[in-house]
């Protein structure tokens, strides 16, 4: 670190202290439910017996970690780009620690809202609320005829087959085994991604859209940003999933699905149903009411349980509280899409590539631009193909910029298209 300027060396040392301090703050892992809870509930449901699951959480104490995070915030320079990054990151890790210390209580919802927001938060640009956007996608999905699905989309793919397919795609991308795809019988969600491992739920059935979504969303965003963050020589925290980066990470990952055609309207509906379910829980619905809400929306018992448990991670199951992470998907998607369009207009598409250099927010990638330019933060080693093909990305964004100027409410007649 002797070759670094004093301000960079100072913040690099703080960053490393923060990484050590947060080592045990594994937010999503610690709020997740055991697979045994799902198995018991579904066995009872098969007999038409429904009761609230009983979930026990560990008693956690992160006082020492929070003291160290406070020290990092005290020593970070508020006017320095990296100081601002450290302040935001350390603060979000501290909130996550408070959340984990409150597991099983309504306080988890309060801390969750501080990290992820609420369903009734407005979208960027003083737009509609996240809940209103969710209802829009649910309404469209309900109106579309599912018979439009191609036969290939209706053929289920086993977890074992998908494991082999994903492993082949990833090995070809890296030209070696960098990310391992494994089957996990204890996973409640259908899939989960880390830097070097993607887990699939053993015994689950997947669709063709699931396969493409896992490649673009999990592997080529969540895993790639973690791997690229590990390449950073001075700021190792860029490899970590800081809670404050969740909206950008999930927005970027969902945008990747969208721009590569890996997302379908049913996926948008699933995301949107979770947002409505979070609002239901905050307004008093208990776990069983939310479970039956997902069933009434067309999900089977397994998927309904999986969706409902996401909403009640860490909180009491009797209603009035929720784990609000799922509200970030639509808000993040719209924010990232808007950012990419802004970057094109401002001739700053390089910022879009730099988003993959580690896990950061849209604000971070702009504030840290001088450190990228100076080579202190290195560019991403790996990029998904849609980002590499800058001309194709620019073409899509340019069309989006213009098309958004056309108001559909002024195109009210079918006759308007007869002479085209």
- Give the tens place of pLDDT for each residue, 299-346: 999 999 999 999 999 999 999 999 999 999 999 999 998 898 888 888
What pLDDT, on the 0 to 100 scale, is given for residue 207?
87
Average pLDDT (231-254) is: 96
Of the candidates 328, 368, 327, the residue with the CA atom closest to the CA atom of residue 245: 328
What pLDDT, on the 0 to 100 scale, is given for residue 300?
93
Looking at the DSSP assignment, which residues form a beta bridge with residue 122? 129
Residue 6 counted as domain residue: no
SS3 call for 394: helix
Residue 147 counted as domain residue: yes
Domain range spanning residue 200?
26-61+102-407
Residue 117 counted as domain residue: yes
Contacts of 108 (CB under 8 A, 6+ apart): 31, 99, 102, 314, 315, 321, 323
- Give the tens place of pLDDT for each residue, 5-28: 999 999 999 999 999 999 999 999
Among 146-160, 233-247, 287-301, 333-347, which stretch is predicted with the lowest mean pLDDT? 146-160
SS3 call for 192: strand
Residue 397 has pLDDT above 50, yes or no: yes
Residue 40 counted as domain residue: yes
Contacts of 403 (CB under 8 A, 6+ apart): none
What pLDDT, on the 0 to 100 scale, is given for residue 144?
72
- Residues of the chain above pLDDT 90, percent: 76
Please state, in angstroms and rounded to a whole number, the distance separating the CA atoms of residues 367 and 94. Answer: 22
SS3 call for 182: strand
- 418: confidence class by pLDDT, cuts 50, 70, 90: very low
The region that residue 325 occupies, defined by phi over 0 for left and psi between -120 and 50 for alpha, beta otherwise, is alpha
Residue 275 counted as domain residue: yes
- 125: confidence class by pLDDT, cuts 50, 70, 90: confident
What pLDDT, on the 0 to 100 scale, is given for residue 308?
98
Please state the domain count of the chain: 1
- 402: confidence class by pLDDT, cuts 50, 70, 90: low
Contacts of 411 (CB under 8 A, 6+ apart): none
| Phi/psi at 200 (5° precision) | -115, 140
- Give the tens place of pLDDT for each residue, 40-89: 999 999 999 999 999 999 999 999 999 999 999 999 999 999 999 999 99
Residue 70 counted as domain residue: no
Of the candidates 145, 179, 95, 166, the residue with the CA atom closest to the CA atom of residue 265: 145
Contacts of 218 (CB under 8 A, 6+ apart): 191, 192, 193, 198, 253
Q: Are strands 191-193 and 197-201 parallel, antiparallel or unpaired?
A: antiparallel
- CA-angle at 71, arms to 66 and 72, nearest 5°: 95
Question: What token pair was written down for 22?
Answer: 């947060």
Average pLDDT over the chain reads: 91
Please state, in angstroms and rounded to a whole number, the distance separating the CA atoms of residues 288 and 317. Answer: 8
Residue 83 counted as domain residue: no
Please state, in angstroms and rounded to a whole number, the distance separating the CA atoms of residues 247 and 328. Answer: 5
Average pLDDT (283-311) is: 96
- 407: confidence class by pLDDT, cuts 50, 70, 90: low
Residue 415 has pLDDT above 60, yes or no: no
Please state, in angstroms and rounded to a whole number, the distance separating the CA atoms of residues 141 and 113. Answer: 28
Of the candidates 402, 260, 252, the residue with the CA atom closest to the CA atom of residue 336: 252
What pLDDT, on the 0 to 100 scale, is given for residue 140?
86
Residue 11 counted as domain residue: no
Q: Are strands 197-201 and 180-184 parallel, antiparallel or unpaired?
A: parallel
Residue 400 has pLDDT above 70, yes or no: no
Q: How many residues does the chain have?
A: 420
Average pLDDT (343-352) is: 90
DSSP 33: P
What pLDDT, on the 0 to 100 scale, is given for residue 209?
85
- Give the tens place of pLDDT for each residue, 380-389: 999 999 988 7
What pLDDT, on the 0 to 100 scale, is given for residue 156?
87
Among 43-52, 139-148, 229-238, 307-316, which stretch is predicted with the lowest mean pLDDT? 139-148
- 1: confidence class by pLDDT, cuts 50, 70, 90: very low
């Amino acid at each position: 670190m002797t070759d670094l300027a004093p301000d960079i060396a100072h913040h690099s040392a703080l960053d490393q202290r923060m990484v050590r301090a947060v080592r045990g703050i594994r937010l999503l892992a610690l709020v997740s439910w055991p697979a045994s809870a799902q198995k018991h509930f579904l066995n009872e449901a098969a007999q038409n017996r429904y009761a609230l699951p009983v979930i026990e959480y560990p008693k956690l104490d992160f006082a020492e970690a929070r003291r160290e995070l406070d020290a990092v915030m005290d020593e970070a320079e508020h006017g320095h780009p990296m100081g601002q990054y450290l302040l935001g990151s350390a603060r979000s890790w501290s909130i996550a620690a408070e959340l984990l210390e409150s597991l099983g209580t309504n306080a988890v919802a309060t801390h969750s809202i501080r990290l992820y927001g609420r369903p009734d938060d407005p979208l960027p640009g003083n737009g509609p609320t996240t809940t209103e956007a969710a209802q829009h996608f649910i309404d469209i999905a309900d109106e579309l005829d599912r018979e439009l699905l191609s036969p290939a989309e209706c053929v289920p793919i086993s977890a074992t087959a998908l494991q082999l397919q994903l492993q082949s795609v990833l090995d070809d991308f890296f030209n070696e085994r960098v990310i391992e795809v494994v089957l996990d019988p204890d996973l409640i969600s259908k899939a989960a991604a880390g830097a070097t491992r993607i887990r699939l739920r053993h015994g689950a059935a997947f669709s063709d859209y699931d396969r493409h979504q896992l490649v673009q969303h999990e592997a080529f965003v969540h895993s790639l940003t973690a791997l690229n963050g590990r390449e950073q020589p001075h700021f190792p925290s860029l490899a970590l999933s800081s809670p404050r980066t969740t909206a950008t990470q999930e927005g970027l990952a969902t945008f990747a699905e969208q721009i590569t055609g890996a997302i379908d309207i049913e996926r948008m509906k699933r995301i949107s149903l979770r947002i409505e379910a979070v609002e239901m829980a905050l307004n008093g619905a208990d776990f069983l009411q939310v479970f039956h809400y997902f069933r009434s929306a067309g999900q089977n018992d397994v998927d309904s349980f999986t969706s409902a448990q996401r909403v009640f991670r860490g909180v009491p199951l009797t209603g009035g509280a929720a784990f609000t992470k799922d509200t970030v998907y639509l808000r993040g998607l719209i924010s990232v899409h808007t950012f990419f369009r802004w970057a094109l207009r401002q001739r700053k598409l390089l910022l879009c590539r730099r988003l993959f250099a580690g896990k950061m927010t849209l604000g971070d990638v702009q504030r840290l631009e001088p450190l990228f330019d100076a080579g202190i933060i290195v560019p991403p080693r790996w990029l998904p193909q849609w980002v590499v093909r800058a001309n194709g990305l620019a073409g899509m964004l340019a069309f989006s910029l213009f098309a958004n100027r056309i108001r559909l409410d002024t195109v009210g007649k079918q006759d308007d298209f007869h002479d085209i």
